[in-house]
Structure 1
Amino acid sequence: MAMVGLFWIAEGDVYVGAKPSGLAAGVRLTPEGVVALGDKQSAFYPWDEVRALTVEDAPVKSLKRQVGVLVDMALTVGLGGSDDAPAMTVRLARPESEETELTAYVAAATGYSQTEHDLSLTLLTHMTKGEATLRTTLAAMAEWGRAREGGSPRAADRERLLREWGGGDPA
């Protein structure tokens, strides 16, 4: 399993945000469509019905955020504070219907780098350009995930992968 930008890639499965377990909310991207997972949002949206896909509320790393995470951990452990996992909103635009909002949990404890955040949003836009683009992109992500061992790559490698998968220059 590895995190690359806003994506969690576990073997051949690609998720937006953290891979859910049990009844937890999550969003999985498959060659057939977007799968909303979890107790309160279980649904399937075929790609031919998805006009746009984006993420809101994804935390971006900052010194203030990193200090806040450390304070929250101290309060949670020491004083019985909240242990709610941070979540982000995945928005699907579909023809002739209102936008659909799905919940995905954040995989990066201190947030995502601004570069990875922006490249991830570009990659999501790239996926909605058409079936050939989508299938090629998801196949490359899944293949990388199946071959990957040892956790998430370093930041520079994550950024390179996001650029490559998004159809941009891998440099």
Structure 2
Amino acid sequence: MTDLQVLDVPVRSAAARWATRVTSVVAAALNAWGPGGPSMMTAVVCTRDGQRVETPVFSGAATAYTQREVDLSLGLLSHFVRGSASPALLTQWWQEHQPSGVLHSHEREAVLEDWMSPLM
């Protein structure tokens, strides 16, 4: 693999994410609308022999990511591709912390910043 990109990442400000959540809760409570599935993104994998494979992937965020979270995530992916970091980092963190619920955006940003700090 020579490159890994993620396209169509849903990014919104904190205010826009909260407005979306509130609207979803109110609409669901009024039985006017049910929440849809997660947003779709596109992962693009480029190989040494010049192949480019695009595949749809689901977003893990309920509404969207912050721009900081996206920037940190893409930076970490680039370290994985270059070999300066290993995806085993994710498994190791999960085993050590075993979060009981979904992390909020500020918590995800803190974890990403922690992972990126030795790489900068």
The answer to whether the superposition gives a TM-score over 0.5 is yes
Change (3 A) 1:57 1:106: same
Matched, 1:143 2:92: yes
- TM-score, length-scaled by structure 1: 0.54
- Please report how far the alpha carbon of residue 98 of structure 1 lies from its aligned counterpart in structure 2 after TM superposition: 3.7
Change (3 A) 1:156 1:109: closer
> Could you tell me which amino acid in structure 1 is paired with residue 19 of structure 2?
V
Partner of 2:6 in structure 1?
55
Secondary structure of 1:144's aligned partner: helix
Q: Percent identity?
A: 29
Partner of 1:158 in structure 2?
108
Pairing partner for 1:101 from 54, 59, 75: 54
Cα distance in 1 for partners of 2:101, 2:33 equals 32
Count residues in correspondence. Answer: 114
More helix by share: 2
- Please report how far the alpha carbon of residue 70 of structure 1 lies from its aligned counterpart in structure 2 after TM superposition: 5.0
User: Which 5+ residue runs of structure 1 have no aligned equivalent?
Assistant: 1-49
Change (3 A) 1:65 1:98: farther
Secondary structure of 1:119's aligned partner: helix
Partner of 1:67 in structure 2?
19
Change (3 A) 1:149 1:93: same
Change (3 A) 1:140 1:98: closer
1:25-64 paired onto structure 2 within 5 Å: 50-62=1-13, 63-64=15-16
Secondary structure of 2:48's aligned partner: coil
Cα distance in 2 for partners of 1:91, 1:150 equals 31
- TM-score, length-scaled by structure 2: 0.73
User: Which 5+ residue runs of structure 2 have no aligned equivalent?
Assistant: none
Matched, 1:86 2:39: yes
Cα distance in 1 for partners of 2:111, 2:48 equals 31
More strand by share: 1
Cα distance in 2 for partners of 1:93, 1:101 equals 9
> Could you tell me which amino acid in structure 2 is paired with residue 124 of structure 1?
L
What value does the CA root-mean-square deviation take over the aligned residues?
Answer: 2.8
Range with bigger deviation, 120-129 or 144-153: 144-153
Change (3 A) 1:150 1:83: closer
> Could you tell me which amino acid in structure 2 is paired with residue 101 of structure 1?
E
